[in-house]
Each structure stands twice: as C-alpha cells, then as structure tokens.
Amino acid sequence: RFEIKMQYKQLRVRNLKLSDAGIYTCEFGSHKVHTSLHIFKLMISLDGHFLQNEVPELILMQNSSSPLPDLRITLLDSNNNRVTPELQNKSRQKYIVNLRKLEAMDSGTWVCQVRSDSPLIDQNIPFAVKVLGFQNPDLERKYATVDSTVILSWHLNSQKIKWKEGFTGQLNWKQQESANPHELLDFNITAQGQLHVTKKTSNFLFEIPERKPESTIEVKLPKVHFNHSGQYQCQLEYQGRHAQSKIELVVMKVSAKPVGPLSRGANMTLTCQVSGPLPPSAYLRWERVNGTNMDIKNSKQNEVKLEVNISAAGLWSCHLIEDSDRKISVHYNVEEAAAWTNYVIIGASVGGSLLVFALGCLCIISVTNWQRRRQRAKRMAQARQYLLENKTCQCQQ
C-alpha cells in the first residue's frame, strides 16, 4: 500500500486504515521534516441501502498521534439542507449519530462536515445514500363514482436511483382495516433492473395497464363497484425489511325513491352515500343546479349518507367537499312528469275513488237485499208454522 516517488519526494499510501495515522518523517541528509497524518473513517449502516422511513446510523471514527480533538459534526442531505442528527454516543475516538427517518427524495450524496479548532480541521466527507421507496404520500385518498373508471398508481424510485439489487413486493386490498387482505399482484426487479409484475388469481375484476411509466405499479378498475372501496396497500420487501404505501379508495353513489318522473305536488327522496369514513374536513352536499340557497343541504361531520326530500324537478348534484375543494360530484336529473301523465294520475285517482264508492254501494245494496230476503223467509216460516198449528186444532175438534 506504500509507494515512494523519489523524483517528487512523495510517499503515497493507498487504502488508508485508522492504524496508518501518526507522524511521518522525511530525512534528507541532515534535514528532517515531520508530517502528522490524521485519519477519519465514516461508516453508514446497511451499506447505505435503505427503505423509506428507516433511520440510518452514522459512525465517525478518528485516529492521530496527538491527543484526539473534540469534533463538531454537521450533516447536509442530498438537497444541501442541514440535518440535525440525534447524538447517540460520543467519545474522542468514535461518534455515533442517528439521522431522521428517510424519504424517497433523500436519495443522493450526503456530506459530513468535520470541524475542529485545535488542531485546525475542516474536512468534508461525502457518502452515498440510496432510499428505495414510493414517491406517493404515506396515505393517499382517491375518490370515484359507481360505474366510473379509476387507475391506482404507486411510483417507485428504483429507476431513478438505479437500484438493481433484488427486491420483491406485492399489492393487497382489503375492504376494512380488520378484514382479511386479498393479494392482487406481486412484482420483482429483474437482472436488467426492470420491474416485472404478475397478476394473482382473484375474483376481483381489475386490469394491469400495459403502458405505464417506468418503476410504476398500476391497477385499473374499468367499472368501479360500491364494494371496490377500501385500502389498497403496496408493500416492498428487501432483505427481510418492509416498506408500504396505502391508497384509500372511497366510492360514491346516488339513488332516488321513488324512481321516475316527479309528479306535480309529489315528493322524492334523493340519497347520496360514500363507502367509507371521511376525514374531519370533508362533507357531502346536495344542491339543485341554478337553484336557490333553500335547495342546498350539507351533511354533518362523520356522516357518510345524506338524504334530501325534494318537490322540484331539475338537475341535482351531490358533491364531496374536502378543505373547500370539490373532490368528486355526481349528478342526478329529476324529470318532471308530463301534463297528460298528471291528468292520467288524477283521472286514475278519481276513477279509483268512484270505483271504490260504487263497490261500496253494491256491497250495501247486496247486504240490504240479503237481510230483506232473510226476514221474508223468516216470516213465511212463521206463517207456515201457524197454519199447521191451527189445522191440527180443527182436527181435534
């Protein structure tokens, strides 16, 4: 590891070790020159390969012939932002610090700045950090309407950081937090660094789009059902460690009771419902397009179902509003029944009333006639009995 270049009076030492620290003396005749070599060794846990939300451990060691100085350590991340580490252990020979939880955007070259006043030290030590993870938020919420098409996407940064070491993953879906998960697909990275996706056998109707950005996991629901809602969790696994990202799918539907045109003077109930709990800042709203403030109704906090009783036809809209932003809307057109339909309904009502009245009259007449016939039969029976009794009496005489 040692090489002397006589023409330049140089000593070159390759692959420095902590034990190489000390005082080096160059002798030329009666002249002696002393040089002190101070060596730093920087080590990062897991060889600098992390999953998102993991906390790296950084170890800085030093060695010299003189008493070891008290160092000041400053860390700069890949975006040149100063990072305040948590000092776990400190001695003159070894400094152990824990960094914050990493995100996918933290990948890149970090710098450890080492400072000391006595002896004067001003050293920048670069080190590489690779964070494999999702560029999605930790918890993403996506809204869809019944029978619409929705694409759920998870964006990995494996292509960006040129991560070619083997990792695997899978995409699971469960309708509720406590429900059993259903595995929809699994994926892995090939030797060429390409992402390979395999669809699992499932009764769940979804597609895997052929054309999608690199390092992207996608599922397409061509016709969303109300029970397609729930949590879709994409999970990475690398060397026994895991990272995951969730997308919460909330589905909205509307219905009317009774279904059909709205007759004059009649009422109809419109119902707007979402499939899962809403955040505190979200609510439902019914309103009639080009209507008045009287045609607006908002849901209360934590309500997932909103009903409104209407008597006016027109285009009604249900909105899901979160933080004053309309996330999704569903329209329902309430048609007004035609005039002849109203007349038919009125006529049918009047005719029905007359029919009921006529049937009532017939019943009364029938009952009256039946009672009269019964009384007449009773009187005739009494008369026959009387005659028989009188005839018997005459024969006895």
* Together in a domain, 110 and 190: no
CA distance 20 to 12: 12
What is the phi-psi region of residue 194: left when phi exceeds 0, alpha when psi lies from -120 to 50, beta otherwise?
A: beta
Domain boundary among 188, 219, 251: 251
When pLDDT is averaged across residues 35-47 and rounded to a whole number, the result is 93
What residues make up the domain containing 244?
A: 140-251
Identify the CATH number of the domain in which residue 291 sits: 2.60.40.10
When pLDDT is averaged across residues 108-136 and rounded to a whole number, the result is 93
Q: Is residue 13 part of a domain?
A: no
Amino acid at 71: L
Domain boundary among 251, 268, 295: 251
Q: Is residue 177 part of a domain?
A: yes
Q: How confident is the model at residue 340 (pLDDT cuts 50, 70, 90)?
A: very low
Q: Is residue 83 part of a domain?
A: yes
What is the phi-psi region of residue 48: left when phi exceeds 0, alpha when psi lies from -120 to 50, beta otherwise?
A: left
Q: What domain count does the chain have?
A: 3
Q: Is residue 176 part of a domain?
A: yes
pLDDT of residue 212: 79
* Together in a domain, 153 and 236: yes
CB atoms within 10 A of CB 16: 13
* Together in a domain, 148 and 247: yes
* Together in a domain, 155 and 239: yes
Q: How confident is the model at residue 214 (pLDDT cuts 50, 70, 90)?
A: confident
Amino acid at 73: I
CA distance 279 to 45: 38
Burial class (CB in 10 A: 0-12, 13-18, 19+), 186: middle
CA distance 196 to 186: 9
Q: Is residue 391 part of a domain?
A: no
pLDDT at 345 over 90: no
Q: Is residue 180 part of a domain?
A: yes
CA distance 328 to 74: 47
Whole-structure pTM value? 0.74
Q: Is residue 89 part of a domain?
A: yes
Q: Is residue 381 part of a domain?
A: no
* Together in a domain, 214 and 122: no
* Together in a domain, 144 and 242: yes
Percentage of residues in the chain with pLDDT exceeding 90?
49
pLDDT at 342 over 60: no
Q: Could you tell me whether strands 216-221 and 22-28 are parallel, antiparallel, or unpaired per DSSP bridges?
A: unpaired
Q: What is the DSSP string of 90-118?
A: E-SSEEEEE-PPP-GGG-EEEEEEEEETT
Q: Could you tell me whether strands 182-189 and 121-132 are parallel, antiparallel, or unpaired per DSSP bridges?
A: unpaired
* Together in a domain, 190 and 100: no
Q: Tokens 């699971």, residue?
A: 172
* Together in a domain, 272 and 237: no
Q: How confident is the model at residue 396 (pLDDT cuts 50, 70, 90)?
A: very low
pLDDT of residue 391: 54
pLDDT at 89 over 50: yes
Is the peptide bond prior to 126 cis by the omega test (within 30 degrees of 0)? no
* Together in a domain, 149 and 240: yes
Q: What 3-state class would DSSP assign to 343?
A: helix
**Model confidence pLDDT, tens digit, residues 47-84:** 999 999 999 999 999 999 888 999 999 999 999 999 98
Burial class (CB in 10 A: 0-12, 13-18, 19+), 251: buried
Q: Tokens representing 261?
A: 């045109």
* Together in a domain, 65 and 98: yes
pLDDT at 247 over 90: yes
* Together in a domain, 273 and 321: yes
* Together in a domain, 112 and 87: yes
When pLDDT is averaged across residues 8-14 and rounded to a whole number, the result is 87
Domain boundary among 291, 312, 334: 334
CB atoms within 10 A of CB 19: 8
